[in-house]
Each structure stands twice: as C-alpha cells, then as structure tokens.
Amino acid sequence: MLDVEQVRKDFPMLSVSMHDHPLIYLDNGATTLKPQSVIQAICEYLSSYSANAHRGDYDLSHRVDETFENVRQKVANFIHAPKKENIVFTYGASDSLNLVAYGYGLTHLQEDDEIILSFQEHASNTLPWFDVSRQKGCRIQYVTLDQDGQITLEHIKETINEHTKIIAISHISNVLGYLNPIKEICQYAHQKGIIVVVDGAQSVPHMPVDVEELDCDFLAFSAHKMCGPTGVGILYGKLNLLEETSPTRLGGGSNSRYYKDGQVTLKKVPAKFEAGTPNIEGVIGLGSAIDYLTQLSMKEIHEYELSLRRYAVDQLLQLDNVIVYNPDAQGPIAFNIKGVFSQDAASLFNTYGIAIRAGHHCAKLLDNYLETNTTCRASLYFYNTREEIDQFIEICKKGDDFLDAFFG
C-alpha cells in the first residue's frame, strides 16, 4: 500500500501556501510537483559534475555521458521498450509529437492519404497533423466518440478506409480522461499497414505502460508530468520507424561527418535526432523521477489514484450544483459548477488555496461534443489525499458564492 503521508514528505511544494491556505494541488494534468530526490539529482549535476555530454575526453564529461545514457536505459525499462535506442530525448511531449508529424508524417504521407485523429486530442496531437496534411494534400478524419465520449475499436474500424495511413490518438485524454483501447487499435491498424502514434502524456505518469504489449509505433510523453523537470520529453519509436524518420533539427552531435559539398552522414538512431546540447540536467532529473516512481511502484500509484478519483467523483455526484462530465474515466475529472463560468469557479478555488484548471484544456475541438464550451478540470496524483478531496468538495458546495473570491 502506498503510504501517502510518508510520500508527501518528499515534496517540498506540499508545504507551500497559496492565498493564505495550505496548497491543495489538483492540476497534475498540467504539471506535477517534484520530490526532493529529483531536485537533488539536478543540483548535484549542476554543482558537482557539470560538463557537456557526448563531447569531452575528460573524467567529468565521461560521468555526464554515462549518467545521461543510463537515463535512456531507465526510460526504456520504465515503458518496457526493447532497447535504449528506441528512446529519443526531446523537449516535451509536444516536441515528440511534432517530431513524428514532421519527421515521419511529412516524409511518408502522400496526396489523398488520411490521418485519423479524435476530438479529445490535445492541440499538440492535432495542430502538427493539420499542418502536415495541408502541406501534403492529405485529409484529417475524426473518429466518432460514443455517448460518454469514449473511443471504441468499432468506431476506429468505421473511420478507417484504404486511404488511412496514420492514427494519432491519446492513450488517456487530458480532458475526458478515458483510457483508449490502444492495444486493440494497434492490432487492427497494423493488419491494414497503418501506423499508430500514441500521446502518452496523461497515461505514462499514472499507470504501468508496456509498449511491447500495446505494440504502438510511437509513444510521446513529458518528464514534467511524472515528477521530473520541464523541458524534457520522450519519444519512443519502433527502431525501423525511427530509422525512417528524418530529424527535424540538425546540428552538432547528430552527424558523424559532413563535407563542403553538402554531403552529411547522420549518426544512428537516436543520436541523429538529438542535435545540439541536450537538456542534460533535465534528463538527469527525469532519471531520478523514474527511480522515485519505480520505487513506489506504478501499479500501486495507479490503484491509489483510481480509488482517490472514485472517492472524489462519488462525492461530486451527490452535489446538485455540480455536473461531472466523465464520472467513469480514469484521468482528470471534468466538471462544472452549475451557473458558474469555469474561470470564476477556478478563481473561487484559488481563494481557498486549491489549484484547479479552467478552460478548453488545449482540446478546443471537444466543445461541440460536451455541449459546454469550457470546463473545470481537477487532476489528481498519488500525493493527493482524501482530506484534500474533502476540502475541494466543500468549496464546490460554495459555488454560488463565487464572487466572494473576488472580494476575498
């Protein structure tokens, strides 16, 4: 069992106040807090072995190289990737998805090809595909959602036709929070020669993920949503596909030779994608975050979060003044206080030290589906407690007094 009280001591941010109240941080879908061990790992690099990676011929640089590459192996183990070469370091999940769209999509898609997206997708799994399809004369198709907003394999099958080349879909949506049937989708798509790109930004931090079992072709996620620092992302790709993917940035570290006539020999995967000095302290922080999560056990984190979410939703459903849009999902809780614009609600929560998010959540296509333009989003992590949920529920009850927040 996860010992939450013990875990909370690891997070300095959990002793911070906001608006004169102890912080209750329920915006983990946006970013997560960092344990002391991650902060220390970064400080240690900055204060005792700062040097560049892949460059120097001296002890310090060698240590950086080893630590850096060791994190690649940790990431591979964490998501059960066959080799560390399957792991490309980027600057965030958005950057990873852009790399797939421009490095693979742009070089493989032809006129009349189709890309399947869903209305649940985050802007970073939508806008790059819009642009690539515009450039190549492709079409975007949207998979229909069922009445709860879920994606089923049947809906995917209906949307696939002989033009379909890529399906780009989230593992867990950042608004509706449903776990999509990626394994089944991949199995079906692969029979048709379709590539499946998975946005794992909201799944990898919260549950055990096994890329070999899912059999997805690409998986993108961010370090900062899993207790790591901002500015580091991960792209997992199958080796043959990464080899076919073109780098979208060129420069030092990604080439082995080049000549004045313009001839360039690129390094092998994944180095060919990682031109320029990487975010070394960020990657080191990510390694430490993976150690931390692994030691707690992703399975236990997942179970704890599911029970905490259930606890929160059950109480929300008892409130007459609250609408919950996704009671049976696993990820963020999407809700509104009736008659209160989401931004006003978020402001009210702020007054009580509770951080939640209001808005479209970077998924602006979903509005038509939900029949509401904006929602509040409470997203939990393993360091949140039932006591925090209780306080959150108390504020939901105060919804009508949202203007008090303005005068508070």
Partner 1 sequence: MRSLDNPMILREIILDHYEYPRNRGLTDDKDYIKINMNSETCIDDIDIQVKIEDGVIKDFRFDGEACAISTASTSILSELIKGKTLEEAKYIIEQYNNMIYEREYDEEILEEAIAFKNTSKQANRIKCATLGWNGLSQIIDEQKVGEPHD
Residues involved in catalysis: 362
Closest C-alpha to 399, from 359, 366, 360, 352 = 352
Judged by CB under 8 A, the stretch of 167-175, 203-211, 280-288, 356-364 that binds partner 1 is 356-364
Closest C-alpha to 2, from 299, 330, 401, 207 = 299
Tokens 């999560």 label which residue?
293
Does position 30 interact with partner 1 (CB under 8 A)? The reply is no
Which amino acid would we find at residue 205?
Answer: P
Among 107, 265, 343, 368, binds partner 1 (CB under 8 A): 343
CB of 17 to partner 1, least distance (A): 16
Closest C-alpha to 343, from 362, 360, 324 = 360
d(CA 380, CA 32): 9
Strand partners, 306: none
CB of 74 to partner 1, least distance (A): 36
CB of 358 to partner 1, least distance (A): 7
Which amino acid would we find at residue 154?
Answer: E
Among 144, 341, 362, 397, binds partner 1 (CB under 8 A): 341
Nearer to partner 1, 248 or 350 (CB): 350
Closest C-alpha to 213, from 191, 181, 242 = 181
Does position 405 interact with partner 1 (CB under 8 A)? The reply is yes
Binding mask 362-401 for partner 1 (x = CB under 8 A): -----------xx---------------------------
Other CB atoms within a 10 A radius of the CB of residue 187 amount to 14
CB of 357 to partner 1, least distance (A): 10
Judged by CB under 8 A, the stretch of 41-49, 113-121, 248-256, 354-362 that binds partner 1 is 354-362
Does position 347 interact with partner 1 (CB under 8 A)? The reply is yes
Q: Are 85 and 239 in contact (CB under 8 A)?
A: yes
Among 37, 248, 255, 350, binds partner 1 (CB under 8 A): 350
Q: Are 200 and 221 in contact (CB under 8 A)?
A: yes
Name the site residues for partner 1 (rule: CB under 8 A).
341-344, 347, 350, 358-360, 373-374, 402-408
